[in-house]
Chains A and B, each alone.
Chain A
Amino acid sequence: MISKSEKLLTITIGIDLGTQTIKVVILKDNLVLTREKAVSGFETSKVAKQVIDEALKKTKLSINDISHITATGAGVQMAPNPNSTISMMSADAKAGFYLFPKARTIIDVGAEEARAIKCDDNGIMVDFVVNERCAAGAGAFIEAMARAIEVKMEEMGPLSLKAERASSINATCVIFGESDVVSLIHKQESKPEIARAVFDAMADRISSMVHRLGVNPEVVLVGGVAKDVGFIASLKRKLGVDISIPDYPEYAGALGAALIAAKRAKRNK
């Protein structure tokens, strides 16, 4: 139960309606109380509501305890009654800066989209580059290639680290990449080498996005793909700098939205 004194604190919700998963973060005075996620599916609004309910249940809170809900993500218009919304870029910038105060470049690689954001010394977004409507620069690329070489998506990363050399595939299109993978299979290339080629190709694409902004350390990587050890290794190689990755990188968008919700709640008081 929440005591009366606690009720004066600002409790906010950030919800990120991604193309594949919906993520919710509940924040109490800028500290994360809980995280919750579920597959978006086709009834996005319904799932979004369920994820919020589940997160509230976990923290033993009710919706009345929440002072502000901010929504973000590709499906933002399907968020159930948010108090406000925020762009995915701003949410990423906010979360990146909160997690790593020295962050100047934030890269978010999700299931179907990728973004690179440039921040100033105050964590304010000054520029960004987005890859959308193309599967090649996002998690969907890894998924399609995993299917082509018949391994599970989560096995791709560890597999790629066993590669002894680098081979290359087309990274501009999933469909072309798939043909290249089939060619590599016929050249008897082993699965670790192919897996590494997949991550190298993807990292190539993402790093060229980042280069358009300039590689300003500290570089932070978030989004679901930031959990993939294979992609992290390839991106480090391509960018030539160290990359900071938070725990729970897939919740960055929701965290950013919750932080913005807190700011807006205080302003409204």
Chain B
Amino acid sequence: MSETKNKDSTEFWRWQEYQRVIKEKTWKDKDIITAGVDVGSVGSKATILINGEIYSWGIMRTGSNSPESAIKVLDFAMKGTDLCLDDLKYVVGTGYGRVNVPMANKAITEIACHAKGANYIWGSKVRTVLDVGGQDIKAIHCDETGRVTSFLMNDKCAAGTGRGMEIFADLLQIPIEKIGEVSLNVDKEPPPVSCTCVAFAKTEAVGLLRKGWSKEMVLAAYTRAMAIRMSNLVNRVGLEKEFVITGGQSKNAGIVKRIENVLNVETLPSPNWETGGLDPMIAGAIGAALFAKALYLKNQKN
């Protein structure tokens, strides 16, 4: 919800925007440099690949204007690389705002891109991908090449998506990166809240706090309800090992743990960008950049 906030106050919901360049890598003019731009409802991600291998990426918050967000995040990904827009052989746009990526040669659905990106991050063994973004939950099945074989998504309701977490971070004054850990800090798991409608999240949480629930309990109850919603979607599409989680909520330990609990399965360990690994949040952008490479090569042949 957009509410006017005091500029001086800490914005607990604000997650970290960052950019990463793989320093060991260099590029030459004849290299196939492609980019994927994933404009999500909450976060915008851009990835640059050199000959199909990751070179740099950037993650930032999506502004109210999709084309502007796409330009900004791609610039961000290219920061400190000497690359400019003209060096990019092919750009694919994806995500909620994919039709509004001005420099894109083509737009591809985020379903296809996430499967492809998960295949790149975790390898060919991945079969089920759960992507939880700001407004979307997608459960995707794919084959060993990362091609989508079936999927389901929440096209009618935002309940259980990442947006609710931002509201809680603000309300409970807990930095969003810490929300997951805090939610796990309960002696006994409370029953899940009955309603995960994002529009009612705040009132529901305040009600529980007034009843004397601790912040941890409130978060645990809401996180559990979200995890159940997500797990239902996975069950409906059919859970097949190996299973991975992508998108912003893949960084929420409280969500991941509870999904594993509800589905009685372990997810493949996620790389950690803070220690030099990839980021499951850019799976869609990686997929888009991989499609960009394939499309570029196809065009060259014709």
Contact = CB atoms under 8 A, between A and B. Distances in A.
A147 B199 contact: no
B88 interface: no
A179 B1 CA distance: 11
B227 interface: no
A148 B4 CA distance: 11
A186 B199 contact: no
Contacts of A179: 41, 96, 135
A1 B282 CA distance: 74
Interface string B143-160: 000000000000111110
A151 to B, nearest CB: 13
B195 to A, nearest CB: 5
Contacts of B64: 182, 185-186
- Helix, strand, loop or mixed for chain A's interface? helix
Interface in B121-169: 135, 155-159, 161, 163
B84 to A, nearest CB: 27
Contacts of B158: 173-176
Contacts of A141: 199
A134 B206 CA distance: 18
Interface residues of B, number: 25
B197 A134 contact: yes
A221 interface: no
B210 interface: yes
B193 to A, nearest CB: 10
A42 B210 contact: yes
Given A133-B194, A134-B159, A176-B158, 14 more contacts: A112-B200, A135-B200, A140-B199, A144-B1, A172-B156, A173-B156, A174-B198, A175-B135, A175-B198, A179-B96, A179-B135, A185-B64, A186-B64, A186-B65
Interface of A: 42, 112, 133-136, 140-141, 144, 147-148, 172-176, 178-179, 182, 185-186
